[in-house]
Structure 1
Amino acid sequence: MKDLFINRKYIIMALIVLASLMLIIRLFIIQVVKDTYRLSADNNVLRYVTQYPARGLIYDRNGKLIVSNQAAYDIMVIPAQTDRMIDTAGFCSLLNITNDVFNRQMKASINYSRRAPSVFLKQVSNETYARFQEKMFLYPGFYVQPRTLRKYTRPVAAHILGYVSEVDESIIRKNPYYKPGDYIGKSGIEEAYENDLRGQKGVRIFMVDVFSRIKGSYADGEMDTVAVQGSDIISSIDLDLQEYGELLMRNKRGSIVAIEPETGEVLALVSAPNYDPGLLVGRVRSENFARLQSDTAILPLFNRALMASYPPGSTFKPVNGLIGLQEGVISADTKFGCNYGYLFVGCHGHASPLDLINAVANSCNSYFCQTYRRVLENNKYSNVTEAFSKWKEYLDQFGFGARLGTDFVNELTGFIPSPSYYDRYHGKNRWKALTVISMAIGQGEIGTTPLQMANMTAAIANRGYYYTPHIVKEVGREGKLNPRFKTKHQISIDSANFETIISGMEGAVSGVPGATARVAAIKDIIVCGKTGTAQNPHGDDHSVFIAFAPKDNPKIAIAVYVENAGFGSTSAAPVASLMMEKYIRGSISNKYLEQRILDLNLEEKLIKSETQH
């Protein structure tokens, strides 16, 4: 019994010694080995300063700088470290703010967190920054956070580039990477490529004294992390062409989209009216944004090239001609007569009858109404609904009625009605070809975006395929690009049929009798184009033109919309011609045409009309 007691005594003593030893080892790890615990204990004398990386630069396709960075400074505050007896008057004078602003900002910072840093005053001037640096030791809890803001080499391409703004609470909740005061890309390239452009934040840990003065790096900087600069981006746009397009569209409303057919790269994307991207930088950003947003007359923030849905008008006829050829209901030699129209669809005066090539060149409504009717009444389909569905399949292949899958974040779909759409309005099997005949000439329920029309033109230029339009050529040093932009989209229409339509588009510009687009001709360059007049129930019709050049090995495909400008040949065709020559040759030969477009002021007329109504 005595031995048992002694054994228990030794066991208990051994357990006590073992527990003590484990405690000593644990304390050693905490106090000596593990820096993280020591950092937690030292938090009251350490300052963690986020190192914001420089945002990636943006270049044009020729290496010209479009967007760079400039230094900016935020005044940060940690409320728990501030002096309750702060000289508020002196502090406000130093930063040139009122006492009300001071109280409001302090309240907001305390509500966010008493111990975590938050932005007290954003983007102070260099002069204010210098003054504050000298006196900062008088105001514990306040310090300066360097940042970068965007800087633009030219006041153009706002709708392409997008802008950068401060994150809001919803973004912070969704993505823990962002903290109050951080910036994020909004719209355009800035938003689409945010993860590439933003880089990776770093942290520097400083030791500070009771006066908030930095005494040096903590642990000789061993605990710091280095900020990684954002990736540079080479965009697909030609900066000179973009600037020229915006100049041509000055005092007008509408859009220009130019694409390189061989790659799908967007060469220029103009939405007019536009704005200087520099307006959305700095402390005046919010004020300027509110002003632009409230301008409901001209909608400068609205990207017409991607978001406006127009009836394509006669620029849609080449597609219906291609479908008619592929479906075998017409041939290149098929002729239709035209007596100023077809049934209740009117047409302008021209020679009659016409074959397909001359019908394209003369933009004959009657020809394409009869072609479209043959497509929908084709005997190989059991009814009009089935034939209409087949017609819509072709349009789907061109990218109509859906997002093209570009790298533009705000691209809209346009609208191509389905059979069920007409079933709802007319009853199942109670509508026929004549019910929807207006779509033969790009009117009626059809809605397309300028981007979709430029893409259609690129597909015609390529004789039956396209690459998804995109605004970026390369990302980072590796020159990476999303694989979807290298995927060829084939259209199930024979290339020979495209050649027929292209001949008609060539004739429209080269000047065959009755040609509608002779104004778009460029000396020594074969241009293939198609005019359009999109009906507008709210005012004058829209001027529309699609084209590509040269005919063989095309370098540029383009769609131009000039709102309330009338016939396609009056405004849109000249703009497209000037843009194509500018890109191909780098200069303009027809100075008279250029000056006429530069002098054309439709905005003044529109504002006067809207004021009267």
Structure 2
Amino acid sequence: MNNSFFNRKFVVQGIFITIALVIVARLFYLQIIDDRYLLSANNNVMRKVIVYPARGVILDRDGQVLVQNEPVYDIMVTPREAKDIDTLLLCDLLGIDTTDFNTRMQKARAHSPYRASQFMKQVNATTFAKFQEHLYKFRGFYYQNRTVRSYPDSIAAQFLGYIQEVNERDIEKSEGFYRPGDYIGASGVERAYEDLLRGKRGVKNQMVDALNRPKGSFMEGKYDTVAVTGDGLVSSLDKDLQVLAEKMMKNKLGSVVAIEPSTGEILTFVSSPSYNPNMMVGRDLGNNYMKLLNDESKPMFIRPIQASYPPGSVFKVVAALTGQQAGVINEQSVFYCPGGYRYGGGRAIMRCTHVDGATGLVKSIKMSCNTYYGYVYAKMIDSRGMSGPKAYDLWREALGKFGLGHRLGIDLPGEKPGLVPTSDFYTKRYGNGSWRSGYNISLSIGQGELGITPLQMANIMAIVANRGFYYRPHLIKGIGEKQIIKEEFTEKISAGVDPRYYEPVIEGMSQAVNQGGTGAASRIAGIEMCGKTGTVQNPHGENHAVFFAFAPRHNPKIAIAVFVENAGYGGTWAAPIASMLVEKYLKDTITLPKYIQDRVYNANLLPKPKKPKEADVKKDTTKNAKDSTKNKPVSAPLKSAANDPKKEKSAVLVHHSQVRRTHE
């Protein structure tokens, strides 16, 4: 009996001990591991509110606002606390329906029933004012202040860029700096200077009562941290000039880039067509982004730094300078122009539009003589005592010093390098290394495989204006209160050509505008502008109109490149645009005849929508039809010249015989 009692005693003790251990374990789990009740309790008396800093504002070079901030509000919810909600009233105040309300609440619960998350983001001030009056009725709901970007003048969209909500990749790359719901620069200057513009978040510990009403700061703000506003930026852009340039480029495809030669600061940066940057703000950002992305005119494409075109006649300026530096021509060099340059043993011709006769260096620039530069290129490649590929490499190296074939280093993401093919490209194309100038003669006049960006075009003009050097083109001239400029934008970069070789080229450019040359229609009274027109071949439609210039001739203040796609003659379309912008910048007036101004402002040069070909229309109806020749032997493809080494040279000659003059 004693043994039985003894056994029961230990069983009872064991039961109590087990129950005690379970209770202790549960308490440990609830108090140490599971934070649900802690979060719930804390949310009942104290709330940690993230204080988001305002992003730095962006000004133009004269202090006028380009980008500023305006307040918005994120409505937050803690699902577990959201009880006895008047759903219909809340939906009415926020402009949503009950289905939307339920979807948002489900998303919040999936995030965490005990942690606050976004219920609705970027509520504008008007809507929020109505909601705030009734906030005490919606237990578990509160708000966070935010700011979003605002663009007072709705200009320079591709330059300024936009911000968007961070994704998982952004959060991962930031090593914890960004959190879900934060915003980050997505393009343009907003992206390039994100680290400076974003500022630093703060935290405010706020006491609340059971009805979610604020009751002051916890411990009088002892544990709060202050948000730090992002650094402001002063851009190099001239707002008034930008507005004018965008007005003139309306309903046109192309670019306008203007640079201050003495600093490399970009005065005007137009990519057309553009879009209203305010479209990329607010809750419709995603829908608007897709509309712009699917727009056939590609407004999101940043043409000044991403489009690559044959440079056309501006390249003759580079050819004249590098030719002098290489010693193959000088100011007295004269070549006879009979209306075209013959090559390949006289079997092919690169034509001019008229006969220039005996042509010297200055005249070659003034009249944009193709023949002259055919001879210059031939001397560069064929007359330097070395193989064609080796001489070409030296020629290509000289172009690189002018910023061609590589990125200039502008402070925008997405810059493209353009294209100057390597000698290996041609050696591979022609099957051996014995090729000479006749095989790619179109390069001599800025056609063929050459591709340069409008930014590079404007930079060439800055180099000529400076007589041999440039500063990296940039869009931000001052950072923060101390107006700091990045060191890389103060570096003076040589183009590799002695200053003495620039004067005859500049004289030719001056005569082209001021003494009856190809750019005479762009002449500005009282300003000696030095320029060069160009009409660049476009195999896909109308030729491209181009004009490059700097002014004034002495102590230049502006270098500019205007490129209008599918417009025709450079002197007709690009030159007047450049002329008006230069005069506006230098004299704050425009004296070009009104009928020319009206023609530029009102012209619609956008390509007409292409009608579907009859074969394309019928394609779908015949898609499932049987091929009547299904069982017949398939003919071998025709052998092209590219596949036949014996025919390569003659094919090249025929191709280049179709090259036309690229000036008016």
Confirm or deny a common fold (TM above 0.5).
yes
Q: Which residue of 1 aligns with 2:473?
A: 469
**Corresponding residue for residue 485 of structure 1:** 489
1:595 to 2:598 alignment: yes
Q: 1: distance between equivalents of 2:58 and 2:416?
A: 25
Letter in 2 for 1:151: S
2:628 alignment partner in structure 1: none
SS at match of 1:353: strand
CA change 1:611–1:586 in 2 (3 A) is: farther
Worse-superposed segment, 403-412 or 481-490: 403-412
Unpaired stretches in structure 1, ≥5 consecutive residues: 1-37
Q: Is structure 2 residue 344 aligned with structure 1 residue 345?
A: no
Could you tell me which of 403, 407, 410 is aligned with 1:399?
403
Q: Which residue of structure 2 lines up, in the alignment, with residue 258 of structure 1?
A: 258
C-alpha contact 1:581 1:588 (8 A) present in aligned 2: yes
Is 1:174 aligned to 2:177, yes or no?
no
Where does residue 373 of structure 2 map in the other structure?
368
> How far apart, in 2, do the equivalents of 1:485 and 1:589 lie?
35
Q: Which of 382, 394, 401 pairs up with 1:390?
A: 394
Q: Distance in 2 between matches of 1:111 and 1:393?
A: 60
Deviation for aligned residue 1:112: 3.0
Counterparts of 1:131 and 1:457 in 2: how far apart (Å)?
A: 57
Residue equivalent to 2:608: 607
Q: Are 1:572 and 2:577 matched, yes or no? A: no
1:424 Cα shift? 2.1
- Whether 1:109 aligns to 2:74 is no
Q: Secondary structure at the match of 1:446?
A: coil
Deviation at 1:94, TM superposition (A): 3.1
Distance, in Å, in 2 between the alignment partners of 1:587 and 1:275 is: 27
Contact 2:338–2:356 under 8 Å retained in 1: no
Distance in 2 of aligned mates of 1:321 and 1:611:
45
Which residue identity is paired with 1:121?
M
**1:27: which partner in 2?**
none
Q: For residue 459 of structure 1, what is the aligned residue in structure 2?
A: 463
Q: Match of 1:518?
A: 520
Flag the 1:507–1:404 CA change in 2: closer, same or farther, 3 A: same
CA distance, structure 1, for counterparts of residue 438 and residue 505 of structure 2: 24
3-state secondary structure, aligned to 1:177: coil
Displacement after TM superposition at 1:136 (Å): 2.1
Structure 2 counterpart SS, 1:602: coil
Which residue identity lines up with residue 137 of structure 1 in the other structure? Y
Q: What RMSD in Å do the two structures reach over aligned CA positions?
A: 1.9
1:268 aligns with 2:268: yes
Alignment map for 1:53-92 (pairs within 5 Å): 53-83=53-83, 85-92=84-91
Whether the aligned pair in 2 keeps the contact of 1:350 and 1:362 (CA below 8 Å) is: no
Contact 1:473 1:481 in 2 (8 A): yes
Deviations 1:159-178 (CA, angstroms, capped at 9, x unpaired): 11111222222212222222
Equivalenced residues, count: 569
After superposition, the C-alpha distances for 1:446-467 in whole angstroms (9 at most, x for unaligned) are: 0110001101110111011000
Equivalent residues in 2 for 1:17-28, closer than 5 Å: none
- Alignment-derived partner of residue 323 in structure 1: 322
* Kept after mapping to 2: 8 A contact 1:119/1:180: no
Contact 1:314 1:530 in 2 (8 A): yes
**Aligned residue number for residue 138 of structure 1:** 137
* DSSP-derived class of the 1:313 partner: coil
1:47 aligns with 2:47: yes
Tell me which residue corresponds to 1:118.
117
CA-to-partner distance for each residue in 1:546-569, whole Å, 9 max, x for gaps?
Answer: 100001110000001011111211
Q: Unaligned stretches of 5+ in structure 2?
A: 1-37, 343-348, 615-664
Is the counterpart of residue 529 in structure 1 residue 528 in structure 2? no
Partner of 2:161: 162
Question: Deviation of residue 242 (structure 1)?
Answer: 0.3
Q: Is the 8 A contact 1:257 1:451 kept in 2?
A: yes
* CA positional deviation for 1:41: 8.6
1:531–1:568: 8 Å Cα contact kept in structure 2?
Answer: yes
Query: Which one-letter code corresponds to 1:596 in the other structure?
Result: R
Shift of 1:364: 0.5
**Paired AA for residue 73 in structure 2:** Y
Question: Which deviates further from its counterpart, 482-491 or 156-165?
Answer: 156-165
Secondary structure in 2 matching 1:552:
coil
User: C-alpha displacement at 1:510, in angstroms?
Assistant: 1.2
Distance 2:588 2:111 in 1: 55
Distance 2:253 2:399 in 1: 27
Classify the secondary structure of the residue corresponding to 1:203.
Answer: strand
| Deviation sequence 1:46-99 (CA, Å, 0-9, x none) | 21111111211111111111211111111012234333x544334323322122
Counterpart AA for 1:335 = V
Pick closer, same or farther for the CA change 1:348–1:74 going to 2, 3 Å. Answer: same
Equivalent AA in structure 2 for residue 533 of structure 1:
T
Kindly provide the amino acid, as one letter, of the partner of residue 521 in structure 1.
Answer: R
1:357 pairs with 2:365:
no
Shift of 1:40: 12
Name which of structure 1's ranges 217-226 and 65-74 shifts more when overlaid on structure 2. 65-74
Report if the CA contact (8 A) 1:465-1:488 is conserved. yes
Name the CA distance, whole Å, in 2 between partners of 1:166 and 1:345: 54
Counterpart residue identity of residue 271, structure 2: S
Distance (whole Å) between structure 1 residues aligned to residue 40 and residue 480 of structure 2: 38
Of 392, 413, 417, the match for 2:417: 413
Identity %: 45
Q: Matched residues in 1 for 2:521 and 2:322: separation? A: 28
C-alpha displacement at 1:428, in angstroms? 3.4
Cα offset, 1:417, TM superposition: 0.4
Structure 1 Cα separation of the partners of residues 368 and 154 of structure 2: 39
Match of 2:21 in 1: none
Alignment partner of 2:243: what SS?
helix
Q: CA deviation at 1:210?
A: 3.0
TM-score by length of 1: 0.89
Contact kept, 8 Å, 1:417 with 1:445, in 2: the verdict is yes
CA distance, structure 1, for counterparts of residue 359 and residue 88 of structure 2: 85
**Amino acid paired to 2:556:** P
Aligned to 2:9: none
Q: Is the 8 A contact 1:54 1:148 kept in 2?
A: yes
Matched letter for residue 391 of structure 1: W
One-letter amino acid of the counterpart of residue 359, structure 1:
S
Tell me, in whole angstroms, the C-alpha distance in 1 between the residues paired with 2:40 and 2:468. Answer: 65
Change in 2 beyond 3 A, CA 1:526/1:350 = farther
Q: Helix, strand or coil: the match of 2:268?
A: strand
Equivalent residue letter for 1:228:
V
1:268–1:155 CA distance, 2 compared to 1 (3 A): same
- The alpha carbon displacement at 1:609 in A equals 5.2
SS of the aligned residue for 1:370 comes to: helix
SS of the equivalent of 1:447 reads coil
The counterpart of 1:435, out of the listed 439, 443, 464, is 439
Shift of the 159–233 alpha-carbon distance from structure 1 to 2, 3 Å rule, reads: same
CA distance in structure 1 between the partners assigned to 2:210 and 2:172 by the alignment? 34
Partner of 1:586: 588
TM, length-normalised to structure 2? 0.83
Contact (CA 8 Å) 1:50, 1:201: kept in 2 or not?
Answer: yes
Contact 1:78/1:142, CA 8 A, preserved across alignment = yes
Question: CA 1:493/1:204 → structure 2, altered by over 3 Å: closer, same or farther?
Answer: same
Q: Structure 1 residues 135-144 or 566-575, which shifts more?
A: 135-144
SS in 2 for 1:379: coil
Q: How far is 1:610 from its partner?
A: 6.2
SS of structure 1 residue aligned to 2:502: helix
Match of 1:14?
A: none
CA distance 1:392–1:113, shift in 2 (3 Å): farther
Render the CA deviation track for 1:95-135: whole Å, top value 9, x for unaligned: 22122212222222233334443221012233331232232
- State which drifts further: 572-581 or 427-436: 427-436
Paired residues of 1:507 and 1:528 also in contact (CA < 8 A): yes
Structure 2 CA distance for aligned equivalents of residues 94 and 521 of structure 1: 61
- Whether the 8 Å CA contact 1:118–1:180 is kept in 2: the answer is no
SS in 2 for 1:226: coil
Task: Give how far 1:431 is off.
Answer: 2.2
